Structure 1
Amino acid sequence: MGVKDTSSPCRVLEGLHGVQLSGRSLYRDEGLDPGDFDASTCEGAEIVRISQKLLIRRLWQQRPSCLRPIHCCLHGDRHVAETIANVLTSLPFIVLGFQAPRKNLNTALYANSLVGVGIASSLYHSSRGEIRKILRWADYTTIAATTLCLSRALRDENPKLLMAASTMLLPFQPLMVSAVHTGMMEVAFAKRASVKPELKMAHNLHKLSSLLGGALFFADDWFPRTPYIHAAWHLAAAIGVGTCNKLLE
Structure 2
Amino acid sequence: MGFKDIPNTSMVLHGLHGVQLMGKSSCRNEETFHGDSALSSCQGSEFSRTSQGLLIQRLWQQRPYCLRPIHCSLQGDRHIGETVVNVLTSLPFVVLGLQTPRQNFNTSLYANSLIGVGIASSLYHSSRGEARKFLRWADYTMIAATTLCLSRALRDENRKLLMVASTLLLPFQPLMVSAVHTGMMEATFAKKALTNPELRMAYNLHTMSSLMGTALFIADECLPQTPYIHAAWHLAAAVGVGTCNKLLE
**TM-score, normalised to structure 2's length?**
0.85
Distance 2:77 2:30 in 1: 73
| 2:218 aligned partner | 218
Cross-structure match for 2:172: 172
Structure 2 Cα separation of the partners of residues 34 and 133 of structure 1: 53
- AA matched with 2:128: R
Supply the distance in 2 between the matched residues of 1:130 and 1:177 (Cα, whole angstroms).
Answer: 26
Shift of 1:39: 4.4
In structure 2, the partner of 1:125 is: 125
1:221: how far off? 0.8
Partner Cα separation in structure 1 for residue 66 and residue 182 of structure 2: 19
In structure 1, the residue matched to 2:25 is none
Poorly superposed stretches of 4+, deviation over 3 Å: 32-40
Could you say what secondary structure the match of 2:30 adopts? coil
Question: How many residues are aligned here?
Answer: 220
* Partner residue in 1 for 2:140: 140
Alignment partner, residue 7 of structure 2: none
Quote how far apart the aligned CAs of 1:171 are: 0.7
**Alpha-carbon distance between aligned partners in 1 of 2:84 and 2:145, rounded to the nearest angstrom:** 25
Where does 1:223-242 land on structure 2 (aligned, <5 Å)? 223-242=223-242
Q: Deviations over 1:134-191 (max 9, x none)?
A: 1111100000000000000100111111111111111111101000000000000011
Q: What's the counterpart of residue 151 of structure 2?
A: 151
Of 41-50 and 160-169, more deviation after overlay is shown by: 41-50
- Report the AA paired with residue 189 of structure 1: F
Match of 2:3 in 1: none
What is the distance in 1 between the residues matched to 2:108 and 2:42? 57
| Aligned AA (2:178) | S
Identity percentage over the alignment? 75
The structure whose Rg is larger is 2
One-letter identity of the residue aligned with 1:96:
L
Question: Which residue identity does 2:146 align to in structure 1?
Answer: T
TM-align CA RMSD: 1.3
Give 1:41 deviation, angstroms.
2.8
Is 1:31–2:37 an aligned residue pair? no
Length-normalised TM-score, structure 1: 0.85
Counterpart CA distance in 2 for 1:160 and 1:36 is: 61
Unmatched segments (≥5 aa) in structure 2: 1-28
